[in-house]
Amino acid sequence: MLVSGGFLAWVVVRRFRHTGFPSLSTLAASALAGVAVVMLLAAFIAPRKLFPGPAPYSASSATTRPASTAQLSILKPLNGQHVSGSELEVVMRLTGGTIVQTTTTNIQPNTGHIHLSVDGRLVSMTYGVLQPLDLSSLKPGTHTLTAQFVAADHGPFDPPVVATATFVKDG
């Protein structure tokens, strides 16, 4: 289509410049110009519509997530522990999984990152089993700490690899 459209465009240009195809009427040359435009457009549009190729990967469009055999536990704070101050060192144990610092869509079932949430709000996506937690904006009272081992694209495994603990922030 591209070659045919290009050829017709060449014929039309030569005719309108009076350098060739004198037997072709002006009306016929105008019609050929329209056909050339349609063919050139179709040459670029039709292959994308007929052969769209793979869709780009996104965690939200994926229908299935990999499963992981990794296990995650929170060692500190202990469940129900009272804490004070503006920072808490969270200590976790990850078995059967490896923490990686690179983000990629080439996900493996046992490599990823750990995300921390407090009361359902994501507060940290740093890499490692030791993570400082800023307590300065938390009100005194009981809070739920959730740690989740996620794939290297930051999406969850299926089923999720999660550990939770509650702690009490003293006033």
pLDDT at 90: 96
Domains observed in the chain: 2-50 (no CATH), 71-169 (2.60.40.10)
Distance CA 81, CA 89 (A): 13
At residue 50, the pLDDT reads: 66
Question: What's the confidence (pLDDT) of residue 49?
Answer: 64
What local confidence, expressed as pLDDT, does residue 40 receive?
A: 81
pLDDT truncated to tens, each residue of the chain (171 aa)?
Answer: 788 888 888 888 998 898 988 888 989 989 988 998 888 888 777 766 666 655 454 444 445 899 999 999 999 999 999 999 999 999 999 999 999 988 888 889 999 999 999 999 999 887 789 999 999 999 999 999 999 999 999 999 999 999 999 999 998
Taking every pair of Cα atoms in the chain, the longest distance, rounded to a whole number of angstroms, is 96
